[in-house]
Amino acid sequence: RKEVEQDPGPFNVPEGATVAFNCTYSNSASQSFFWYRQDCRKEPKLLMSVYSSGNEDGRFTAQLNRASQYISLLIRDSKLSDSATYLCVVTRGGQNFVFGPGTRLSVLP
């Protein structure tokens, strides 16, 4: 079993839709959590950190459930520009960031 697993996707949604991605991690010692976005043939870029209390940044909401070892990302009112691969990232004490395989999102006009 991989240390970080994500919905395989791809997700094809119409503009304006709400879409949610799930991520699970196996190491209970994991301490920090992030969502990164990666456009085709580009480098990953930080989308948002994930805090225990949950956090929101505009149309994006991230949730963490430590008991279930589960992280989610919700995107509301999807835009064409949201089309990308979304990577779940888990760290242990700031070392060795472990990336999930990513979930590809296509927002359709």
Partner 1 sequence: DTGVSQDPRHKITKRGQNVTFRCDPISEHNRLYWYRQTLGQGPEFLTYFQNEAQLEKSRLLSDRFSAERPKGSFSTLEIQRTEQGDSAMYLCASSLNSLAGETQYFGPGTRLLVL
CB of 67 to partner 1, least distance (A): 22
Q: Six-digit token pair at 107? A: 């927002």
Instruction: Choose which of 22, 55, 69, 91 interacts with partner 1 (CB under 8 A).
Output: 91
- How far is residue 104's CA from residue 9's CA, in Å, rounded to a whole number? 6
> In terms of C-beta density within 10 A (0-12 exposed, 13-18 middle, 19 or more buried), how is residue 73 classed?
buried
Instruction: Choose which of 35, 37, 78, 100 interacts with partner 1 (CB under 8 A).
Output: 100
Per CB under 8 A, 53 contacts partner 1: no
Per CB under 8 A, 45 contacts partner 1: yes
CB of 77 to partner 1, least distance (A): 26
Q: Is the peptide bond between 10 and the residue preceding it cis, with omega within 30 degrees of 0?
A: yes
Instruction: Find the angle CA(75)-CA(54)-CA(20) to the nearest 5 degrees.
Output: 25
Per CB under 8 A, 49 contacts partner 1: yes
Per CB under 8 A, 61 contacts partner 1: no
Q: What is the DSSP letter of 7?
A: -
Per CB under 8 A, 44 contacts partner 1: yes
Q: Residues in the site for partner 1, rule: CB under 8 A?
A: 4, 32, 34, 42-46, 49, 87, 91, 94-102
